[in-house]
Amino acid sequence: MTPIRPDLDTLPAYVPGRTVAGAIKLASNEVTDPPAPAVLDAVARAAAGGNRYPDMGVGELTGRIAEFQRIEPERVAVGCGSVLLCQQLVQITCLGPDDEVLVAWRSFEAYPIVTQIAGATLRTVPLDDDYRHDLDAMAAAVTDRTRLVFVCSPNNPTGPAVHRDEFVRFMESVPDTLLVALDEAYAEYVTDPDAVTGRPLLDEFPNLVVLRTFSKAYRMAGLRVGYALASPEVTTALRKVAPPFAVNSMAQAGAIAALEHREEILAGCADVVAERDRVAARLRELGFTVPQTQANFVWLPLGERTAEFAAHCAERKVIVRPFAADGVRVTISSAAENDALLDVASSFPAPS
């Protein structure tokens, strides 16, 4: 008998994207290109000082993010990826099982995990028939036990973005004693002019937290940097519960360089967006149901045939991400890799 908390037995295990030698990896919403040369240079220079501890206060990067987002530096909290910031958000709002975290489902698979790690209780509200957040139903599901709500826009893994008008209505209808985290991990891929952007709403709603990451469009998933924009009260609490030195020197230097070169780095998003629309259209032609997507992935709600499709792809060296009996998420990549996916999908028998 080891003294491990028994509730951890029921913790859903994180399923990493599969790696198969020589396979095309479309499972983790990464970009296939390496980080920008300027980022790699900065990381190498920082590595040379790896005998020293990183700046625990993440001072310079925080300042650069504040400048870029036109916000006071004290309203920025940098984290070891936005996933860890999600965990910190639960830690600063929830003390135990009486405190509830509300999410749409299906959404980002980390939300239930970080909720349970903190010993809090998860409440879920189903997505609507278009695989979108049902924010009116979520507002109705808020109780006096709800401490934190995660709204993921665009929603991982289904793709649609929340619209600004519905999000504002949601913020106006929930109590301001509740923290609402708008997770914008895929913001750089959004093209719908009606989609919500959190930053302009922060002054109006002090209980709003905006989460951003360098993992996706900035091509730095392995370096682990994300950040939260919120009230000073919230960011101060986030810093209190952060693991010491969680954002390492290479990550800090790489993110600073990425912001300096963001225009050239983010120029790559336009190709992904064009490919996304091409792949979605072709998959629909092949008979697949593909919800609207504003991210760098598409969702195939294959239900009971989810595992069959994932296996069909894996046998042909294309790795996609199956989610139990719900569906498959496929990352949009380069034209050549997307063509490989379309080729494999076209030989999947009778998708609908």
Ligand X SMILES: *Cc1c(COP(=O)(O)O)cnc(C)c1O
Specify the DSSP class assigned to residue 163.
Answer: B
How is residue 346 written in tokens? 């076209």
User: With respect to ligand X, which residue has the nearer C-beta, 30 or 275?
Assistant: 30
User: With respect to ligand X, which residue has the nearer C-beta, 184 or 305?
Assistant: 184
How far apart are CB 317 and ligand X at their closest, in Å?
24
User: Which residue of the chain is nearest ligand X when measured via CB?
Assistant: 81
How far apart are CB 51 and ligand X at their closest, in Å?
27
Residue span binding ligand X (CB under 6 A) among the ranges 78-86, 135-143, 256-264, 268-276: 78-86
Counting Cβ atoms within 10 Å, is residue 261 exposed (0-12), middle (13-18) or buried (19+)?
middle
Separation between Cα atoms, residue 196 and residue 187, nearest integer Å: 9
Residue list 202-261, contact with ligand X (CB under 6 A): 213, 215-216, 221, 226
Q: Which of 26, 29, 167, 306 binds ligand X (CB under 6 A)?
A: 29
Residue 117 engages ligand X in binding (rule: CB under 6 A): no
Q: Which residues contact 171 (CB under 8 A, 6 or more apart)?
A: 180, 201, 204, 205, 207, 208
User: With respect to ligand X, which residue has the nearer C-beta, 214 or 348?
Assistant: 214
**208 phi, psi to nearest 5 deg:** -95, 140
Q: Which residues contact 109 (CB under 8 A, 6 or more apart)?
A: 12, 14, 15, 323
Counting Cβ atoms within 10 Å, is residue 119 exposed (0-12), middle (13-18) or buried (19+)?
middle
Q: Which of 81, 291, 301, 327 binds ligand X (CB under 6 A)?
A: 81
Residue span binding ligand X (CB under 6 A) among the ranges 51-59, 76-84, 114-122, 136-144: 76-84
How far apart are CB 203 and ligand X at their closest, in Å?
24
Q: How many residues bind ligand X (CB under 6 A)?
A: 14
How far apart are CB 29 and ligand X at their closest, in Å?
6
Separation between Cα atoms, residue 115 and residue 117, nearest integer Å: 6
Strand bridging mode 318-319 / 121-126: unpaired
Residue 153 engages ligand X in binding (rule: CB under 6 A): no
Q: Which of 62, 93, 156, 231 binds ligand X (CB under 6 A)?
A: 156
Strand bridging mode 226-229 / 76-79: antiparallel
Kindly list the strands in the beta sheet with 327-331, ordered across the sheet, starting from the edge strand earlier in the chain. Answer: 297-300, 327-331, 321-323
Residue 30 engages ligand X in binding (rule: CB under 6 A): no
Separation between Cα atoms, residue 107 and residue 153, nearest integer Å: 10
Distances (CA, A) of 60 to 8, 67, 196, 231: 38, 11, 28, 20
Residue 185 engages ligand X in binding (rule: CB under 6 A): yes
User: With respect to ligand X, which residue has the nearer C-beta, 204 or 245?
Assistant: 245
User: With respect to ligand X, which residue has the nearer C-beta, 153 or 305?
Assistant: 153
How far apart are CB 85 and ligand X at their closest, in Å?
8
Residue list 265-324, contact with ligand X (CB under 6 A): none
**308 phi, psi to nearest 5 deg:** -60, -45
How far apart are CB 350 and ligand X at their closest, in Å?
30
Kindly list the residues in this chain that would bind ligand X in the complex (CB under 6 A): 29, 81-83, 108, 152, 156, 183, 185, 213, 215-216, 221, 226
